[in-house]
A = this chain, B = another copy of it.
């Protein structure tokens, strides 16, 4: 069958089930049922400290095929996922499902667990490195499920993604399960993604390398959510947890795109008191923040909030009074960790508060503007941030689709080409985010506005911006032979095996990924 974007999907996928096709218009259900949760009460005399991960797995009733969840605030420095899986493998467990909010190169031992059958299923919002390669090359037994950050929160709350045991990598914890991310050798800031897991999992285990006297303070995740606490020598490699080196691009082309993007937001009427803003941590995105910051300072504008994954750039804007507040689901650098620790206006948000489309209104709903990236964007404004042009997995939505759907102006910045490869394509190899939720594409050769936003076209033209049809950007990007060669790769009609589904935030399937 085809979904609303014309993507060819199987009706049923073994190990996944019936495929609900993306419908094009995202209609919220009138009622969303947050599922019941089975909790194991702890009596007054109860203790939660356990000597090791194996005991925790046993006490939590782990079984073949169990779903274990992890969060990615320690990013490429995370040691907890590997630690738990190593123990699980030694225990002889098989067929586990790994529900990790993101997967990084550091998690490469998973590949071996795929081969041995210890891990049979993966559910995540972003995956890069050897694990992504293994999935693309068909080494995972079941189909990988790619979700958005908000879609993951929705699926967990709905009970669709039922977590048997959530492992919380806890930079600080006490012996009764109060947890925070602001202190300890592996401090990573807010634990926004883990919060949903802690609320909804049947069993919750805190793994910490900084066990402090009761009560840990602040308590970001509180004791009534946590079954057990295990102290280990190290949960993370501090040098890989946060970069501390994220920098505004110095490249003139990137700076030009960023400057244009800031003018688009301004022409769109957004940059005024109460303005709200989110951007990723890439060099061009940070440059957009830089230009927006200058505009705000010049005009003495105070925005309402910045959201995100938070970087030093955004922290500076808070500290300069350019925003009243930050909503932070994950700290990207040490400045963000410090600010989150010290500044009460730098607030945490759970993944659900951030982006779950089915709650009573996530923060993305209140975004004026979101600055997005793209591996590819097509003539229908569909964006691919999941795969390379050959269809191999190298990312995933993260919050891309969520913020695009929520923001008043969802703006993609991209160059026309990456090296010799065009980034503006006829049809994206994989749809991550539907074009209907993308408002503007900004390139070095002009700005294309989604035809669904004629109001915006008028504003941008009036402001003197170089507005062109997206077809024009496509033509400019596709002027070489290389691009014609590779373009034949796209299309979902292949009979290669499906290795992953890309879910939209509502759980429908927006595209599939096939074996490469």
**Using a CB–CB distance below 8 Å, which chain A residues touch chain B?**
28-44, 46, 48, 159, 176-177, 204, 213-215, 217-219, 222-227, 274, 304-305, 324-325, 327, 344-345, 347, 349, 352-353, 356-366, 405-406
Give the number of copies in the complex: 2
In the complex, the answer to whether B40 meets A219 with C-beta atoms within 8 Å is no
In the complex, the answer to whether B36 meets A32 with C-beta atoms within 8 Å is no
List 13 interface pairs A-B (beta carbons < 8 Å), by A numbering: A33-B36, A33-B37, A33-B39, A34-B37, A34-B38, A35-B36, A36-B36, A44-B365, A176-B365, A215-B366, A217-B325, A222-B353, A223-B360
In the complex, the answer to whether B361 meets A217 with C-beta atoms within 8 Å is no
State the 3 A-B residue pairs at the shortest beta-carbon distance, nearest first. A42-B361, A224-B359, A28-B41
A219 vs B218: C-alpha distance when bound (angstroms): 15
A33-B36, A223-B361, A344-B344 known; 15 other A-B pairs, CB under 8 Å? A30-B41, A32-B38, A33-B39, A34-B37, A34-B38, A36-B159, A39-B360, A41-B358, A46-B365, A177-B360, A204-B360, A214-B274, A217-B325, A218-B344, A224-B353
**Known contacts A213-B304, A215-B325, A217-B325: A362-B30 contact under CB 8 Å:** no
In the complex, the answer to whether A215 meets B305 with C-beta atoms within 8 Å is yes
Give which listed residue, B31, B226, B274, contacts A213 with CB less than 8 A: B274
In the complex, the answer to whether B38 meets A359 with C-beta atoms within 8 Å is no
* Chain B neighbourhood of A353, CB < 8 A: 222-224
In the complex, the answer to whether A39 meets B46 with C-beta atoms within 8 Å is no
In the complex, the answer to whether A217 meets B347 with C-beta atoms within 8 Å is yes
* Chain B neighbourhood of A40, CB < 8 A: 30-32, 360
**Known contacts A224-B359, A359-B41: A347-B213 contact under CB 8 Å:** no
In the complex, the answer to whether A363 meets B305 with C-beta atoms within 8 Å is no
In the complex, the answer to whether B43 meets A227 with C-beta atoms within 8 Å is no
A276 vs B31: C-alpha distance when bound (angstroms): 43
A115 to chain B, nearest CB (A): 36
A218 vs B352: C-alpha distance when bound (angstroms): 18
Cβ-closest chain B residue relative to A159: B36
A329 to chain B, nearest CB (A): 12
